[in-house]
Structure 1
Amino acid sequence: MSLSTVDKIVLVVGLVDFAGLFIIIGILLHLAYTKMDLMLDHLQNSPAVMIRAPFRNGGPWGNLFLIGAIMGVMTTPRLYLRDGGACAEDLKHFPADLKRKLVILQWIGWGLLLVMFGIVAAAKFEII
């Protein structure tokens, strides 16, 4: 059985996409285990994060859940400020380099998920 050029391209894109998602999860776990104290110290007055802080002791899944909440606050602060889930002072004093990393990782993750769903949809509707 021989793969066509299109099949090879889709396979490579799918494998790179899948590997990218695992790399992002690895980076997020590294940040969760090394920088979580710093992040929680800077978000002490943000209920959307502090209500999830006990999940920190829940192993890797709990840490991913907590860092996901922090990433959500950093990526869409207006949403959380409007409903009182975040404190403006906390967001202002959060380290800029860490905030940038979290926002970039979130958008890259969404992009990779979008590519993955695109490949699945294209295969399902027999576009490729």
Structure 2
Amino acid sequence: MNTAESFFGYLCGAVILGVFSWIGIALRIAYTKMDLMLRHLKNSSVVAHLTQLRKGGPWSKLLLVGSISGIVTFPSFYVKRGRVCLDDLSTFPILLKRKLVILQWGGILLLSLGFVMWLLGKSIGWLE
């Protein structure tokens, strides 16, 4: 294995560790801040449909936190369609909103990096 392949392997490992860290952070937010998030988004129809996931296991909680972070990160998409109440978003706690936005963009970045690494490995021939 040459230096480029080693670097590629370490970079892929870093992306995988980042994904596991992202999952851990999202689960921590889900188990500690779920009631607060749902209380602040109680008038939004999209969240009303997702509250059933609250009683599920860890994967359901990940889906709920991911959905709420998407709503908080890209509010205009949901407001235009009437799925989110603008008053709910304006009263949402600033620090929690910031954490969810960072979580959302971090997830987007990690998925993009993983896809780019896969494409690079396939095109060079390191992944069979």
What TM-score does the superposition give when structure 1 sets the normalisation length?
0.95
Q: Give unmatched runs, 5+ long, in structure 1.
A: none
Count of residues paired in the alignment: 126
Measured in 2, the distance between the counterparts of 1:9 and 1:84 equals: 47
In structure 2, what is the Cα distance between the partners aligned to 1:123 and 1:15? 13
Measured against aligned partners, the alpha-carbon deviations of 1:5-49 in whole angstroms (never above 9, x if no partner) come to: 101111111001100011010000010011000000000001111
Question: What amino acid maps onto 1:43 in structure 2?
Answer: L
Runs of 4+ in structure 1 off by over 3 angstroms are none
Q: Could you tell me which amino acid in structure 1 is paired with residue 60 of structure 2?
A: G
Q: Which amino acid aligns with 2:35?
A: D
Query: Do the aligned partners of 1:48 and 1:69 also contact (CA within 8 Å) in 2?
Result: no
Q: Sequence identity of aligned pairs in percent?
A: 44
Unaligned runs of at least 5 residues, structure 2: none
Question: Which of the residues 71, 74, 77 maps onto 2:72?
Answer: 74
Instruction: Tell me how far apart the structure 2 counterparts of residues 110 and 9 of structure 1 sit (CA, whole Å).
Output: 22
Superposition CA RMSD, Å:
1.1
Q: Which of 9, 15, 18 matches 1:17? A: 15
**TM-score (ref. length: structure 2):** 0.95
The within-5 A match list for 1:10-89 is: 10-89=8-87
